[in-house]
Amino acid sequence: MPWQRQSDMIEIDAALDFISDRGDEVWSILEARGIRRVIVAGVHTNMCVLGRPFGLRRMALGGKQVVLLRDMTDTMYDPTSWPYVNHFTANDLIIDHVERYVCPTITSDQLLGGRPFRFAGDKRPHLVVVAAEDGYGTKETLPRFAAEQLGRDFRVSYVFGRTGESLELSGLEVLDDADLALFSVRRHVLKPEAMAIVRRFVQAGKPILGIRTASHAFALKTPPPAGYEAWPEFDVDVFGARYIAHATSQSDAAVSPSARALDDPLLGGLRHETQILSGGLYQFSELSPRVKSLWEGEQDGGRQPIAWTFARTDGGRSFYTSLGERRDFANSEFVRLLRNAVYWSAGLPVPSQFSTPTLRESLERHWSTVVVPGPLAEATAQALHGYDGEAWFRCVVRIPTDWREAKLTLRLPKQTGTTHVWWNGRALPPANADDKSVVFYPVASAAVTAGDANLLVVRRTGSRQLGFADSPSLSARGPSSEISLQGRWQFRIGDDPAFSNMPLPAKFGASTDIVIDPVLKDPAR
């Protein structure tokens, strides 16, 4: 129980196949057969696939050449929880985490041919971000922008140019599957087959956005090297204006909406007042009559377009802005404009407003990660300033098998307010409530699952000091050893008594960031 049946599409051969949910058994089978390369599929990626004893992390730590079959997996996620994105975007985010920190991934078409699997309910437009410039940090700012602003409605892929190189943009073929593209590229030339991908995308009439250096994305100041191709007319062909130069003026620029664009949906939610920006503006000429200016800037007596749309001759629509420095992404008006432009380019209604919960509301809705011991993060502490209601902390402790008959005692540093403790859902009464520094809680043997994961929950009420001043610990009288409970816990606020026993499926791989594997400390040492 409960795993009694598998899909009829999976044929199980009793002479060849093994079924087990135990990591030691799976590992022994692999070792006995000399298997070094392992492909993992299944659900859920952020739980069992990553965290179970035979999951990706353990396989990678053990030295197996393990990969995730990323289109044959899914994520357990509620879009009303942080980071407040589409369910399928959450799947993309956990796959990105796997690729960054655990192991490579592959897709089913690499084994079976055809095309990778895609959920039928995944209707998100596919945006490809091409970032290849070293001056403005868009390799960092654009992914952060996409995660915060586009995760509800867009599937986002990335093509990054290698730092210091101007001749390679590996992975451009993803444009063939894209619905729209955003370019932040500076003076790259490409091999003909790579440039053909870009031209094919443009000629298909698909929407294109460009920021900052995209106006001279594929133009060099000298002839391209042999075997490479430039596109010096990219600015005129795609954005409807010719880039001249980056002005060297050090005076501030006054930026304001264009008079004939005040009612344009792309400016929805933006202020109409003039803003002051520092730095020289980009200079343009030969603006097409099909260009519609959205923002304009005045500097040293001259006026330049800063953001506009362009109806291309191939039938596609383009958006361009010469803004896009790091400091621009800290400007809520710029962020709003760029977000509006992405939605407009995709043919989606420009959102009037995203209602992202405040940090205080987030702490009421779901668990967040904190470090014990220590104070809460500054932002969290500020959000809870003056709060003296229920504050909940929880972690998972793996109890050693040889502690099966031991008498366990939990040690908590005493703090102001009232403290209640639960172990696997059972309330633990204190043994020395009058102590001024440390409170001990005996743990009943019947409440302990030795050799497995155990849930510890601590609730504080009426305390202004929500963090732990010292590290909690767990001691066993029999083996005469101690487990430090220092590490990552989860935290939330609220008055729901169910929080005391909301079982974590940690033994099935969930919430592995708060599972404490004991590093036993012998007090005699």
Residue-wise pLDDT for 171-210, tens only, equals 899 999 999 999 999 998 899 999 999 999 999 999 999 9
Q: Which residues contact 454 (CB under 8 A, 6 or more apart)?
A: 396, 397, 398, 399, 423, 424, 448
Using the predicted structure, report yes or no on whether residue 511 has a pLDDT greater than 70. no
246-255: average pLDDT = 75
C-alpha closest to that of 189 among 163, 158, 222, 212: 222
User: What H or E segment, with its residue span, contains residue 208?
Assistant: strand 208-211
Q: In 10 A of CB 137, how many CB atoms?
A: 15
Tally of residues, the chain? 525
Locate tokens 């058994």: which residue? 25
CATH of domain 126-345: 3.40.50.880
CA distance 222 to 432: 80
> Torsions phi, psi of 231, nearest 5?
-140, 75
Distance CA 108, CA 192 (A): 29
Nearest to 413 by CA among 491, 472, 490, 483: 472
Torsion angles phi and psi, residue 514, rounded to 5 = -120, 20
Q: How far apart are CA 329 and CA 147, in angstroms?
A: 13
Do residues 22 and 14 make contact, with C-beta atoms less than 8 angstroms apart?
no
CA-based nearest residue to 308, from 296, 319, 317: 319
Condensed to tens digits (0 to 9), the pLDDT of residues 413-441 reads 888 889 999 999 999 999 986 667 889 99
- Beta pairing, strands 391-398 & 515-516: parallel
Q: pLDDT category, 520, cuts 50, 70, 90?
A: very low
The residues, ordered by sequence, that sit 6+ positions from 383 with a Cβ below 8 Å of its Cβ are 358, 359, 360, 363
Q: Kindly report the CA angle at 454 between 448 and 455, in degrees rounded to 5? A: 120
Task: Kindly report the average pLDDT of the chain as a whole number.
Answer: 87
CATH superfamily of 23-112: Isochorismatase-like (3.40.50.850)
Tell me the backbone φ, ψ of residue 47, rounded to 5 degrees: -125, -100
Q: What is the mean pLDDT of residues 117-135?
A: 92
Q: Span 152-175, mean pLDDT?
A: 81
First vs last C-alpha separation in the chain: 44
Whether 359-521 and 23-112 are alike in CATH topology: the answer is no
Banded pLDDT at 518 (limits 50, 70, 90): low
DSSP for residue 497: G
Residue 519 has pLDDT above 70, yes or no: no
> Which residues of 312-386 form beta strands (DSSP E)?
317-321, 368-372
Structure tokens at 280: 């020289």
Cis geometry, peptide bond prior to residue 192 (ω within 30 degrees of 0): no
From 71, 106, 105, 63, select the one nearest 91 (Cα to Cα): 71
Locate all alpha helices (DSSP H) within 246-404, ordered by sequence.
332-345, 359-365, 378-383
Whether omega before 83 lies within 30 degrees of 0, making that bond cis, reads yes
pLDDT number for residue 259: 81
* Per-residue DSSP letter, 356: P
Rounded CA separation 462/390 (Å) = 7
Outline where DSSP puts E strands in 424-469: 426-427, 438-443, 453-461
Dihedral of alpha carbons 275, 279, 280, 282, sign: negative
> What superfamily does domain 359-521 belong to in CATH?
Galactose-binding domain-like (2.60.120.260)
Q: Please determine, for residue 34, whether its predicted confidence score (pLDDT) is greater than 90.
A: yes
For residue 437, give both structure tokens.
Answer: 């520094």
Which of 298, 306, 302 shows the shortest CA–CA distance to 252?
Answer: 298
Between CA 345 and CA 133 the distance in angstroms is 23
In degrees, to the nearest 5, what angle opens at C-alpha 28 toward C-alphas 26 and 30? 70
CA distance 363 to 207: 39
**Between 45 and 277, the higher pLDDT residue:** 45
Tell me: the pLDDT tens digits for 455-500? 999 999 987 778 888 889 999 886 678 889 998 899 999 999 999 9
Strand pairing category for 520-521 and 453-461: unpaired
Domain range annotation of the chain: 23-112, 126-345, 359-521
Query: Parallel, antiparallel, or unpaired for β 282-285 and 242-246?
Result: antiparallel
Tell me how many degrees the CA angle 327-333-337 measures, rounded to the nearest 5.
105
All residues at 6 or more sequence positions from 274 whose CB lies less than 8 Å from its CB, including other chains: 254, 255, 256
Q: Per DSSP, what are the bridge partners of residue 229?
A: 190
Q: Quick one: angle between helices 332-345 and 138-149, nearest 10? A: 70
Which of 214, 209, 213, 231 has its CA nearest to residue 316?
209
**Residue 523 pLDDT grade (very low, low, confident, very high; cuts 50, 70, 90):** very low
* pLDDT of 321 above 90: yes
Name the residue with higher pLDDT: 94 or 523: 94
